[in-house]
Amino acid sequence: MASIVVIGAGQAGSSLVARLRAKGFDGAITLIGKEPVPPYQRPPLSKKYLLGEMDLERLYLRPESFYSENAIDLRLSETAISIDRAGKVVVADGKTIPYDQLALTTGAVPRRLPSNIGGDLQGVYVVRNLQDVDTMAPGFREGAHVLIVGGGYIGLEAAAVAASRGLKVTLIEAAERILQRVAARETSDYFRALHTAHDVDIREGTGLETLTGDTRVTGARLSDGTELAVDFVIAGIGIAPATALAEAAGLTIANGIAVDEFGRTSDPAIWAAGDCASFPHDGGRLRLESVPNAIDMAECVADNIIGAEKRYVPQPWFWSDQYDVKLQIAGLNTGYTRVITRPGDGEGSTSFWYYAGDRLLAVDAMNDARAYMVGKRLIDAGKSPSAKAVADPATDLKALLRS
């Protein structure tokens, strides 16, 4: 009977093994995870969990009993050390696990501040897993000063939580503006104003020169010469695909573990899905860092492992929660040439529509679920309403779906 081994017990890994069973696969399934807890949601870690509004068990993607009830061998606190492709064996913590098909859902690892500028000092954190958040949580006390390095969504979400807890927050971004890599200037302006209204000190075009302190961080010197006294630091400078295991096994790496349109790697017996994998898209390769992609791609790979031969077609969407604002993003804005602003109905409600010429690419919707839902359906259907109609508040958005 065939055996399937999945390395990486996160969103993609959990989704993949659950899908295999749901589709009737009755062979052996092994899911290997480094952490001591079952697969869990990551987005609430730096928000509701850190704020104490969600307990650990509610983070779990599925009850721990799900795995035993579905004959899934969930191996926690185990690290896959190597893959023997010729012998079809995974070595994890000195144990050998044979496989007929192997799936890599290893996710991504946070980029850390260099040790030569103080990145190894105590009190310097990243936000990626449960241990990261549990370690930094005691520092979130009213009046403490936190320096956040990086003005992407990770950094801004951390800033929102810290400011909500009454901390003094300084956020620095080396680029010209926050969210520069992922969003239009209009979205950057919106969130800068939001954070400034919550007393977050945002400094754009400002990098980190060095952190100071003997064993624990106590201060920071910025690229403009400013020196700050800080209680702790959060680095939100992005993530990198976790490819070390795949690379050591000789698999093709290209902005992640390279897979074909079905999710196969350069070894036909090995598959990959989620943050760690890049797939063909519009003549190039694309890697998406999002929960929806992790789920959708993992389920597609599960189907293909058992013979579906189904091409993976991404339908990108993302979200971010900051204070009382929910940002929902549909599509990919790469290559946009103009941005159309559409006012929403409520306070703080608006949306920005990205066009390349006359083609709608993406929508950023802030507290505007209708704009998001309509935009997503339009993009998924390949429809592009006129920019004039979108910009006109009198236009019934739902009518655009029928045009």
The confidence score (pLDDT) of residue 51 equals 85
* Interhelix angle 153-164/185-197, nearest 10 degrees: 20
Distance CA 376, CA 330 (A): 5
SS (H, E, C) 196-218: HHCCCEEEECCCEEEEECCCECC
337-381, pLDDT tens digit by residue? 999 999 998 888 999 999 999 999 999 999 999 999 999 999 999
- How far is CA 14 from its chain centroid? 16
Evaluate whether 228 touches 201 at the Cβ level (below 8 Å): no
What proportion of the chain, given as a percentage, has pLDDT over 70? Answer: 100
| Rg, Å, the chain Cα set | 22
The confidence score (pLDDT) of residue 403 equals 75
Lowest mean pLDDT among 39-48, 145-154, 196-205, 233-242: 39-48
44, pLDDT greater than 70: yes
Mean pLDDT estimate for the chain: 96
Mean pLDDT computed over 153-167: 95
284-310, pLDDT tens digit by residue? 999 999 999 999 999 999 999 999 999
Evaluate whether 372 touches 363 at the Cβ level (below 8 Å): yes
| Angstrom distances, CA of residue 98 to CA of 3, 66, 85, 266 | 8, 23, 10, 19
Strand partners, 366: 327, 350
1, pLDDT greater than 80: no
The confidence score (pLDDT) of residue 173 equals 98
Domains defined for the chain, CATH in brackets = 3-109+239-305 (3.50.50.60), 112-235 (3.50.50.60), 324-402 (3.30.390.30)
| Angstrom distances, CA of residue 13 to CA of 46, 104, 149 | 21, 8, 30
* 4: Cβ contacts below 8 Å, ≥ 6 apart: 17, 20, 25, 27, 28, 29, 30, 99, 100, 101, 102, 103, 305
Count CB neighbours of 196 within 10 A: 11
Q: Whole-prediction pTM value?
A: 0.95
30, pLDDT greater than 80: yes
Distance CA 26, CA 390 (A): 50
The single-letter DSSP state of residue 65 is: H
The single-letter DSSP state of residue 171 is: E
